């Protein structure tokens, strides 16, 4: 059972690396973003391949099972991603609002005839 989950997990993570590469090639990602996501997917693959080495760490920090540790890490990671995404959306909203305001002011100025 563990091997099946590991195999499916590795296949999923390889697909995500490939998808990240496609987005990078289409210029949807910068090189920095691409490298970040490859590191994230590679870390996930590493955690899937060597779960027994994580057992010592989970016992030390009093987490009952390795899967619980992975779930905690995943929730922490995705909460950070959601926060960063929210901050980027708010920044973009402010930029769009400023642009619309400037364009409205430009349009309201009387035009000179030549």
Query: Taking the complete model, does pTM exceed 0.85, yes or no?
Result: no
pLDDT band at 109 (very low <50, low <70, confident <90, very high): confident
- Residue 60 predicted with pLDDT over 90: no
For the segment 38-53, the average pLDDT, to the nearest whole number, is: 88
Residue among 33, 37, 45, 32 nearest 17 (CA): 37
Q: DSSP state, 27? A: T
**Mean pLDDT throughout 63-81?**
90
Q: What is the pLDDT of residue 41?
A: 93
What is the C-alpha to C-alpha distance for residues 92 and 65, in angstroms, rounded to an integer? Answer: 41
H/E run at residue 85: helix 66-108
- Would you call 4 helix, strand, or coil by DSSP? helix
Given a cut of 70, whether residue 36 has pLDDT beyond it is yes
Q: What is the mean pLDDT of residues 3-8?
A: 87
pLDDT at 81 over 90: yes
Tokens representing 47 are 């955690």
Look at residue 82 in the predicted model and tell me its pLDDT. 96
Show me where the domains of the chain are located: 2-78
CA-nearest of 37, 38, 69, 63 to 51 is 69
Six-digit token string for 81: 């991603």
């Amino acid at each position: 059972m563990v091997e099946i989950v590991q195999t499916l997990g590795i296949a999923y993570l390889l697909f995500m690396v490939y998808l990240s590469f496609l987005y990078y090639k289409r210029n949807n990602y910068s090189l920095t973003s691409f490298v970040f996501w490859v590191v994230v997917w590679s870390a996930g693959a590493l955690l899937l391949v060597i779960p027994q080495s994580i057992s010592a760490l989970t016992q030390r920090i009093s987490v009952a099972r390795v899967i619980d540790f992975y779930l905690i890490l995943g929730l922490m990671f995705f909460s950070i991603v959601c926060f960063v995404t929210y901050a980027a959306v708010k920044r973009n909203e402010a930029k769009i609002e400023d642009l619309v305001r400037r364009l409205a002011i430009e349009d309201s100025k009387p035009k000179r005839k030549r």
